C-alpha cells in the first residue's frame, strides 16, 4: 500500500455473508492459552511449575480471577498441544497424560468452571498433532462427543499432518459433529493457516459458515519481527478477508505475546492497539504469576478492550502509511444520541532512538462527518483534544511503538 488514503466507505458498509449461527463468540473471544509462553514443556521433574499439567492450568485459573483478568473479559482457560497420552484407549478415546493430569480432564474442567471461567482444549485434524500426539482424523465423532462429556467450551482444532489442499472438508465435518453434541463449544479452526502460506486462498465463506474464528497465517513467535510479519499479511489481504469477520466469526492473527521476552513495553502497546482495532481474539499467552505490572496494565486496559469488544464487530483496516507509521481505523457503535465513534491505532516502523513527533488529520482518514471531534489517547488517559477534521493532531510515538485513540463526534 502506498501513501494514498484508502476510502473508509468499505468499513462503514461491510459485506453481508452467510455465517455460523451457534450463538457463540458474538464478540472476539478473550482468554489465556499456554502455547506461546510454555510451548510443549512436559518435563515436570525439572520444571514442576511450568510443565503442561493440571497444576499449571489450575494455577492460571486462580490468577485469572484474583488479578482481574476475568472481570476484564478474559473468560477462557485453554489447553494447547501436548496434554494427551501417546495412545488412545481401547475405545479410541483420547486420554490425558496420567502423570501430568492425574485427576482427568473432566475434573480440571469442573475446577475451571467453579472459578466462573470457561474451559478450552486442543485437538488436531491430522494423523498426529503438531507435537506428535494422537490426531483426530479417524476419530472426529468420538473426539467431539468426548469434549462435550468433559464440558469443553472452546476447541482449538489444528491441522498439522493433514492434506492441506482438502483440509476444509475435515473441518466442516468436525463442526457438524460438534454441533450434534448440543454442547455450546466455540470452534476455532486453522485451515487458512495451512492453505494461505502455500499460496492457496481459503474459502472464507465456508469458514464463516463453519467456524467461530480461524487462524489465517503463521504461528506467532515471541518477537517484534513476527508481529509485524503477521500484520503485513493481514493488511495486504484486508480487503479480501475483512468482510467475513464479525459477530460469531473472526479472523485470528494468533495470541497476544505481551509480557513475555520478545516485545518491549512500546511494542506491546502496539500489538494491543492493532489487535483491538482488528477485532482480533485477545488470547493471552504469558505467565500470569510473573508478568510485570506495566504489561499487565496494557492487557487490562478497559478502553482498549472496549474497542476490541465493540458490538458492531467490524474489522479495522490499515488506511494510511505515512512517515514510517501505519494508521488503522475502525468505526465503533455510535453513542445513544447518534454521535459517531471511531478508533484509530498507530504503529511505528521507525527505529530511531527518540520519540517521533507525528502529525495527521482526521480528514486524511476520511473522518469528516462533524465540525469537531473529541480525541482521547487510550494509553495516556490524561491526553485528549478537540479538533476539526483539518487541524493537525500531534502525537509522539516511540521507536517501534504504538498508540490507540477513540474519536467521538461532537454535536
Could you tell me if 80 and 122 are in contact, meaning their C-beta atoms sit under 8 angstroms apart?
yes
Check 54, 158, 310, 326 and give the catalytic one: 158
In a domain, 65, yes or no: yes
> pLDDT digit string (tens) for 346-405?
999 999 889 999 999 999 999 997 889 999 999 987 778 999 999 999 999 999 999 999
pTM, rounded to two decimals? 0.94
Would you call 43 a catalytic residue per the annotation?
no
Write b or e for each residue in 286-312: b if 16 or more Cβ atoms lie within 10 A of its Cβ, otherwise e. bbbeebeeebbebbbbebbbebbbbee
User: Among 318, 316, 368, 360, which Cα is nearest to 340's?
Assistant: 368
User: Among 234, 177, 181, 246, which Cα is nearest to 19's?
Assistant: 246
On whether both 321 and 189 belong to a single domain, the answer is: no
pLDDT at 6 over 80: no
Packing angle, helices 54-66 and 105-114, rounded to 10? 10
> pLDDT digit string (tens) for 107-137?
999 999 999 999 999 999 999 999 999 999 9
CA dihedral 138, 143, 144, 146 (to 10 degrees): 150
Q: How many C-beta atoms lie closer than 10 Å to residue 58's C-beta?
A: 16
Check 67, 145, 219, 389 and give the catalytic one: 219
Q: Residue 19's pLDDT is what?
A: 56
On whether both 257 and 330 belong to a single domain, the answer is: no
CA dist., res. 192 & res. 241, Å (int)? 11
On whether both 289 and 348 belong to a single domain, the answer is: no
On whether both 292 and 216 belong to a single domain, the answer is: yes
Mean pLDDT of the chain: 94
Question: Residue 168 is part of a domain; what is its CATH number?
Answer: 3.20.20.70
Would you call 158 a catalytic residue per the annotation?
yes
On whether both 223 and 171 belong to a single domain, the answer is: yes
- Could you give the residue ranges of the DSSP H alpha helices within 191-333? 191-195, 204-210, 224-236, 238-241, 265-277, 293-299, 302-308
Domain that holds residue 403: 317-409
Amino acid at each position: 500500500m502506498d501513501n494514498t488514503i484508502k476510502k473508509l466507505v468499505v468499513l462503514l458498509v461491510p459485506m453481508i455473508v452467510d455465517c455460523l449461527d451457534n450463538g457463540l463468540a458474538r464478540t472476539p473471544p478473550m482468554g489465556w492459552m499456554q502455547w506461546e509462553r510454555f510451548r510443549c514443556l512436559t518435563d515436570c521433574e525439572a520444571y514442576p511449575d511450568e510443565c503442561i499439567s493440571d497444576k499449571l492450568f489450575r494455577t492460571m485459573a486462580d490468577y485469572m480471577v484474583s488479578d482481574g483478568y476475568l472481570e476484564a473479559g478474559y473468560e477462557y482457560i485453554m489447553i494447547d498441544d501436548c496434554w494427551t497420552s501417546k495412545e488412545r484407549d481401547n475405545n479410541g478415546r483420547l486420554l490425558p497424560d496420567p502423570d501430568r493430569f492425574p485427576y482427568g480432564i473432566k475434573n480440571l474442567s469442573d475446577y475451571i468452571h467453579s472459578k466462573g471461567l470457561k474451559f478450552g482444549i486442543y485437538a488436531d485434524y491430522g494423523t498426529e498433532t503438531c507435537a506428535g500426539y494422537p490426531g483426530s482424523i479417524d476419530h472426529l465423532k468420538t473426539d467431539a462427543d468426548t469434549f462435550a462429556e468433559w464440558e469443553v467450551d472452546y476447541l482449538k482444532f489444528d491441522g498439522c499432518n493433514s492434506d492441506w489442499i482438502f483440509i476444509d472438508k475435515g473441518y466442516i465435518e468436525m463442526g457438524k459433529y460438534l454441533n450434534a453434541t448440543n454442547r455450546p463449544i466455540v470452534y476455532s479452526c486453522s485451515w487458512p493457516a495451512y492453505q494461505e502460506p502455500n499460496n492457496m486462498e481459503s474459502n472464507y465463506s465456508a469458514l464463516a459458515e463453519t467456524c467461530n474464528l480461524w487462524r489465517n497465517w503463521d504461528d506467532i513467535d515471541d518477537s517484534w519481527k513476527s508481529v509485524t510479519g503477521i500484520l503485513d499479511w493481514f493488511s495486504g489481504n484486508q480487503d479480501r478477508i475483512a468482510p467475513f469477520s464479525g459477530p460469531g466469526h473472526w479472523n485470528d492473527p494468533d495470541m497476544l505475546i505481551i509480557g513475555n521476552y520478545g516485545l518491549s513495553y512500546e511494542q506491546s502497546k502496539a500489538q494491543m492497539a492493532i489487535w483491538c482495532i482488528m477485532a482480533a481474539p485477545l488470547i493471552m499467552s504469558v505467565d500470569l504469576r510473573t508478568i510485570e505490572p506495566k504489561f499487565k496494565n496494557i492487557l487490562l486496559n478497559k478502553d482498549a478492550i472496549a474497542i476490541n469488544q465493540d458490538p458492531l464487530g467490524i474489522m479495522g483496516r490499515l488506511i494510511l502509511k505515512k512517515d514510517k507509521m501505519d494508521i488503522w481505523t475502525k468505526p465503533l457503535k455510535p453513542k445513544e444520541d447518534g454521535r459517531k465513534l471511531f478508533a484509530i491505532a498507530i504503529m511505528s516502523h521507525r527505529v530511531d532512538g527518540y520519540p517521533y513527533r507525528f502529525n495527521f488529520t482526521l480528514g486524511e482518514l476520511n473522518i469528516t462527518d462533524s465540525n469537531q471531534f473529541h480525541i482521547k489517547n487510550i494509553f495516556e488517559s490524561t491526553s485528549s483534544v478537540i479538533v476539526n477534521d483539518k487541524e493537525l493532531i500531534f502525537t509522539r510515538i516511540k521507536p517501534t511503538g504504538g498508540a490507540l485513540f477513540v474519536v467521538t463526534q461532537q454535536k
